[in-house]
Amino acid sequence: MIDQVLSLLVLLSLLVACAEAPPPPAESPPAGLAALYATDFLVGAALGGRVIRDEDSLSRALVVREYSTITPENVMKWEKIQPTADTYNWGPADDYVAFGEEHDLFIVGHTLVWHSQLSDYVKQITDPGAMRTALRQHIGAVAGRYAGRIDGWDVVNEALNDDGTYRESEFYRVLGEEYLTLAFRYAAEAAPDAQLYYNDYNMWNGEKRDGAIRMIEKIRADGGRVDGIGMQGHYGISGPTIDTIEAAIEAYAAAGLPVMFTELDVTVLPNPWDLEGAEVSQNFENAPDMNPYPESLPDSVQTALAIRYADLFRLFHRHRDKIERVTFWGTTDASSWLNGWPIRGRTNYPLLFDRKYRPKPAYDSVAAVAATPR
């Protein structure tokens, strides 16, 4: 009887102790990439139309959890936002900006002046005065509408050839290199508080790199304000080399140009034509051997992709004093533009999240770089 009473007393004392003990701390959710790199640079993603229209809630949640900056893939390009001289389509761009504001993200506008996805009425302009007017009206209307709300603009996109010479765009044919200075002047007038960038692909290429620096020095000498350079990061598993990208970062920084990596993705598919960058006019007929992973990515390629991303982010971290932003071009593999370029119908795997919104080994490798003691 005594033993039973003692056992009961012990049990009661344990229950009292458990009742008085504080509950175990709730397990914190894992930090997103923006938090992991918060002291280094902004990390973000480009948003497609479905995400902006709130037709992909999982991607929206992923963006809010992982990133601190956003860029629109298409809704702000000239033909989308001003299809005719007298018509503006503000709805999608308004939704994009509202999403960024709701979640306190650094909002990038993309892009004010680009030769591609350009409205037909602009292509028909041959008079220099009329082209200056079109530039001023478009930039003033678009950048002006979001003044104080958009934090940075890709003012001019892809104005150079790979050898550093000027691309023969509609703007260049009518105005020559003057259009570049005008674009940055008009943008500064319309959105004086926004950062203003030049954005292009293959910016690691030595000739193009040097041409970009010369071009921006000329724009600045003529009174245009350029606050940084966007290096589109459309890379492959094996190239360009880390040393080549690093040399470009250092050259831009030496020229007084902070660097943004604006369109980062890594293709895992074969590229027999040695194509580089993002020239959207390039397209080729499909062939079975050009789509080697239609269902899933082999473990060996997943590992190679993870290693490539780790190498890139080690480079970015090493130059965090020169780099202000790293933006992935898309949210998941399913939404990547590389599924249809340069060959339609292929299945690519270039981003950190798979088609089911799950982080890939590449994500883990990028997170590990941030967590590595230095």
Enzyme catalytic residues: 158, 263
Annotate 126-162 with DSSP letters as a single string.
Answer: --HHHHHHHHHHHHHHHHHHTTTT--EEEEEE--B-T
User: Any residues with CB less than 8 A from the CB of 29 and at least 6 apart, and which?
Assistant: 65
CA 203/CA 292 separation, integer angstroms = 29
C-alpha distances (whole Å) from 362 to each of 169, 179, 329, 367, 368 are 37, 41, 15, 9, 10
Cis peptide before 342 (omega within 30 of 0): yes
Q: How many CB atoms lie within 10 A of CB 3?
A: 7
Closest CA to 96 of 79, 71, 117, 62: 71
Q: What Å distances lie between residue 23 and 19, 91, 221, CA to CA?
A: 9, 48, 64
Report the 10 Å Cβ neighbour count for 87: 10
Instruction: Please choose, from the candidates 137, 263, 139, 231, the residue with its C-alpha nearest in 3D space to the C-alpha of residue 194.
Output: 139
Report the DSSP beta bridge partners of residue 84: 87
